[in-house]
Amino acid sequence: MIRSVPHMDEQSLENISRYFKPFLDMNRQEIKELMSYCEVRHFSKKEVIVDEGTIDNYLNIVIAGLVRKFIRVSKREETLQLATEGHVIHSEISFLQRKPSEVILQALEPTTVVSMSYESMMSALEKFPKGERLGRMILSRMYVKKNERISIKASLSAKERFVGYIQKNPHMLKRVPQKFLASYLHIKPETFSRLKQFVKNNKGSNLG
């Protein structure tokens, strides 16, 4: 279901403002102007947002809920991103190059996103005074985050990856099925279970 952004509630606007603040200092009126290029979309739990082989026409900011990005490799699924409130998620190559997506986006919870279509983004970059700079900074941040994940995968042990992630995101153990978290952290399911028990037994101690 889609509704226009001018009717977005104040809490949602506040969530969007907090996301944009590290990039640009925009007042509430500028946020509302930018949101005029966007749509609010709602997805039910397990609903596919972008399917493999389709063109992703939206860049999304999660304002409530949780979205998983994954790719099918042979008979298994590899989780590439877990996006919660305030995070941007889309099929990057499909969105920017207008190609069929190789990844799948699926809501793991009832989810609400603020979405900007490719056509609206092109219009915003041309007409919204701060749009071009904002777009560059957001894409740069996403590139840095992606490379950080690659570096962590290559340089840290399974235990270090697990403990580091759970210390920063303890709520994700309750929100995300274990098999998806294990895939995201590149940890075998049986190893993940042992590490989860290790953290539980050592809660409150120095796990590093």
User: Is residue 185 included in any domain, yes or no?
Assistant: no
CATH code where residue 96 lies: 2.60.120.10
Residue 138 lies in a domain: no
Output 172 or 204, whichever has higher pLDDT: 172
Confidence of residue 208 (pLDDT cuts 50, 70, 90): low
40-76 confidence digits (pLDDT tens) = 899 999 999 999 999 999 999 898 999 999 999 988 9
- Structural domain contains residue 7: yes
Long-range contacts of 11-18 (CB under 8 A, 24+ apart): 12/40, 12/63, 12/64, 12/112, 12/114, 15/63, 15/85, 15/86, 16/61, 16/63, 16/114, 18/86
**3 pLDDT tier (thresholds 50, 70, 90):** very low
**pTM for the whole structure:** 0.82
* Residue 82 resides in a domain: yes
- Reading the block at residue 196, the tokens are 């989860």
- Domain ranges, residue 119: 2-130
Paired strand residues for 34 = none
In tens, the pLDDT along 165-195 reads: 988 999 999 999 999 999 999 999 999 999 9
Contact assessment for residue 204 and residue 159, using Cβ atoms and an 8 Å cutoff: no
- Domain presence at residue 28: yes
- Within-domain flag for 184: no
154-161 LR contacts (CB < 8 Å, sep 24+):
158/185, 158/186, 158/187, 158/188, 158/191, 158/195, 159/195, 159/198, 161/185, 161/186, 161/187
The answer as to whether 161 is a domain residue is: no
Q: Look up residue 145 and give its two tokens.
A: 């985050």
How many structural domains compose the chain? 1
108 inside domain? yes
Q: Percent of the chain, pLDDT > 70? A: 79
